[in-house]
A and B are shown apart, each in its own frame.
Chain A
């Protein structure tokens, strides 16, 4: 019954009849579980309380990204990418990969996908370059580079919390995978978009009007504040200090600095804050708990691991399971199900860590494969649909279907070798 409700809610979230709000769907599903007695109020409260770190982290992250955007940080980063590319389309693509990877590493994948993408579109319009390769680069790097640190993707917070990993252990298993995945992604993009990237551009077209003194001060203070937040994230991940507290403290610091320079624009910060996202995640946490109580998630993980008896194969099973799950269900519910199942199935320690780290990579990178999984593929689907499929649909399909498995395979091999 709980599984049926979970399935129905996911179907509603994916199809959105009458533009139904995602949060309304997951919260209504959770309310259904409570009303039918499939989840007790106490269990619900303890589930949400145990994930306070994730929920605080999401709030802090949205506020930090909003404050950084209001201070002009993303525009300045894009302008820097344009200057450093010195007129070459290829170098600009690489520079955008680098900016996207840095923003993703410290401000998470959503900041890159939702805030940096429109900024990159504005930049390429000014530079009169074909925008598609650069938009795809931004949305893909948001997923590929989200392996970098525990703060780079909400899924990483969930999994490193559940494994109680510190940064050293995290990097030991994932740093090489991240670097290789980003390199393969960038290399394939240079190859697939080689025609469009041959075009050169006039860097002066990206010139921004000089900032007023007050704006300059706000930008300088915010950039300094972001540097401190990045350091604090690294220190907190090393010491296993809750990242949610760091994210909230970081956003308070940026708000304080903005107020100090007289440039705190609450309305502009609010534009990046979404209660829907918090409601959606809270509802999901409760729904997955309900399904976990039925023993289904443990059964799923046990069957996934049926053929995987070594750490390396467990990592591969996690990666494939999470990548497929992310495309069927979206990556947050998919990783919640796998985490819940891995713990409920009492996986032995030598398999638990590789399985969940494999799942982390699958849930981070996997969404690029199909339209359900993530922003970037939704982007190509929309473009293909709008262009009436007659342009070169193959080219767009190639991007998701060729690049994502190659990047996943690279990350998977790097992670599996680490456990070998």
Chain B
């Protein structure tokens, strides 16, 4: 059966995830809680070190980073699954590694899901609507997803980052 893919950010369980779970009709769908370990920062640290010192990151350091990333990701997905169960939704979890947007799209393209639910931006970011109000992961998913995308926007209080551009009358 086709599932609804819920993208779980690094925050794990929180109001954003509950909003995502309650915004889809839970009955009749299996939820696929997906989280991707973003390994970009690790690659960048390695690149910078190679560039400055002529040596890559030491092996033990890479192992430490990898273990920290896996531990954090496992607990994030565990928390998310607990929330889903509390809300009475059956779920599976999926853990990927790479560039988050790309991995989520790849997962959806595998035919396992009919809808992707994703937050517009990480909760720590500026949540006001306006230009550039989509985070890089959400933007990639919106641009490339083979299935419909439900974009969740948790609007912070306050005015929009900028007013919509004025309508310019066409000159004949």
- Chain A residues proximal to chain B, CB less than 8 Å: 21-23, 69, 75, 110, 113-114, 117-119, 121-123, 125-126, 128, 130-131, 135, 195-196, 198-199, 205, 268, 271-272, 274-277, 375, 378-379, 382-383, 386-388, 390-392
Identify the interface centre among A75, A271, A277, A379: most chain B CB within 10 Å of its CB.
A271
Q: Measured between alpha carbons, how far is A388 from B144 in the docked complex, in Å?
A: 15
Known: A125-B65, A126-B72, A128-B10. A274 touches B44 (CB 8 A): no
CB-based nearest A residue for B46: A118
> In the complex, what residues of A have CB within 8 A of residue B40's CB?
386
Contact A272 B58 (CB under 8 A): yes
Query: With contacts A131-B41, A386-B44, A390-B132 known, is A118 near B54, CB below 8 A?
Result: no
Q: Are A276 and B58 also in contact (CB < 8 A) when A128-B12, A387-B136, A391-B136 are?
A: no
Q: Which residues of A contact B51 (CB under 8 A)?
A: 378
Given A195-B124, A392-B132, check contact A135 B41 (CB 8 Å). yes
Confirm or deny: B47 has a beta carbon within 8 angstroms of a beta carbon on chain A: yes
Select one of A121, A128, A271, A382 contacting B65, CB under 8 A: A121
Bound CA span A391–B47, Å: 22
- Out of B52, B58, B72, B134, name the residue touching A268 (CB < 8 Å): B58
Q: Which of B27-72 contact A (CB under 8 A)?
A: 40-42, 44-45, 47-49, 51-55, 57-61, 64-65, 68-69, 71-72
- The 8 A-B pairs with the shortest beta carbon distances in the complex, nearest first, are A276-B54, A271-B58, A125-B68, A126-B68, A274-B53, A196-B124, A122-B68, A387-B136
Q: Does B168 contact A (CB under 8 A)?
A: no
Which single member of B11, B48, B124 contacts A382 (CB below 8 Å)? Answer: B48
Q: If A125-B65, A128-B10 touch, does A274 touch B55 (CB 8 Å cutoff)?
A: yes
Q: A121-B42, A130-B122 are in contact. Are A390 and B53 (CB under 8 A)?
A: no
Whether A277 contacts B54 in the complex (CB less than 8 A), given A379-B44, A390-B139, comes out as yes
Interface flag for B135 (CB, 8 Å): yes
* Residues B110-167 near A (CB distance < 8 A): 122, 124-126, 132, 134-136, 139
A21 touches B54 (CB 8 A): yes
User: CA–CA, A123 to B48, complex, Å?
Assistant: 19
**Quick check: B49 and A114 within 8 Å, CB to CB?**
yes
Query: Can you list 25 pairs linking A and B with CB atoms under 8 Å apart?
Result: A22-B54, A23-B54, A110-B52, A110-B53, A121-B65, A122-B61, A122-B64, A125-B65, A128-B10, A128-B12, A195-B124, A205-B75, A272-B55, A272-B58, A274-B53, A274-B55, A375-B48, A378-B51, A382-B47, A386-B44, A390-B136, A391-B132, A391-B136, A392-B125, A392-B132
B135 touches A114 (CB 8 A): no
In the complex where A122-B65, A196-B124, A382-B47 touch, is A128 in contact with B132 (Cβ < 8 A)?
no
The distance in angstroms between the C-alpha atoms of A399 and B54, with both chains bound, is 27
- By secondary structure, the B interface counts as helix
Instruction: Judge whether B83 is part of the interface by a CB distance below 8 angstroms.
Output: no
Q: How far is the CA of A168 from the CA of B22 in the complex (A)?
A: 66
Chain A residues with CB below 8 A from B134, complex form: 390
Contact partners of A391 in chain B: CB under 8 A:
132, 135-136
Looking at chain A's contact residues, the main secondary structure is helix
Q: How many residues of B contact A (CB 8 A)?
A: 38
Closest partner residue, chain B, to A66 (CB atom): B58
Which of B53, B57, B64, B124 is in CB contact (< 8 Å) with A198? B124
Whole-angstrom distance between the Cβ of B136 and the nearest chain A Cβ: 5
Residue in chain A with minimal CB distance to B70: A125
Contacts A118-B45, A391-B135 hold; do A125 and B53 have CB atoms under 8 A apart? no
Given that A21-B54, A128-B76, A382-B48 are known contacts, is A118 also in contact with B68, CB under 8 Å in the complex? Answer: no
Which residues of B have CB within 8 Å of A199?
124
Closest to A273 in B: B55
Cα-based distance from A274 to B51 in the complex (angstroms)? 11
Selected contact of B57 from candidates A118, A128, A205, CB within 8 Å: A118
Chain A residues with CB below 8 A from B122, complex form:
130
Given contact pairs A69-B58, A118-B61, A195-B124, enumerate 4 new A-B contacts (beta carbons under 8 Å): A21-B54, A121-B41, A121-B65, A387-B136
Bound complex: CA A271 to CA B61 (Å): 11
User: Roughly how many angstroms separate A256 CA and B68 CA in the complex, as a whole number?
Assistant: 32
**Assuming the A-B contacts A122-B68, A126-B72, are A392 and B126 also in contact, with contact meaning beta carbons closer than 8 angstroms in the complex?**
yes
Instruction: Tell me how far the C-beta of A241 lies from the nearest C-beta in chain B, rounded to whole angstroms.
Output: 28
B62 to chain A, nearest CB (A): 9
Q: Tell me which of B41, B59, B76 has the highest count of chain A C-beta atoms within 10 A of its own C-beta.
A: B41
Contacts of A22 in B (CB 8 A): 54
Min CB distance, A278 to chain B, in Å? Answer: 10
Cβ distance A409 to chain B, nearest Cβ, rounded Å: 27
A178 to chain B, nearest CB (A): 23
Which chain B residue shows the least CB distance to A196?
A: B124
For the complex, give the distance between the alpha carbons of A205 and B61 in Å.
Answer: 18
Alpha-carbon separation in the docked complex, A379 to B75 (Å): 28
Cβ distance A283 to chain B, nearest Cβ, rounded Å: 13
Q: Which residue of B lies closest to A23 (CB)?
A: B54
Chain B residues with CB below 8 A from A383, complex form: 44
Q: Find chain A residues with CB under 8 A from B45 CB.
A: 117-118, 121
Q: CA of A200 to CA of B61 in the docked complex: distance in angstroms?
A: 26
Residues of chain A within 8 A (CB-CB) of B47 are 382
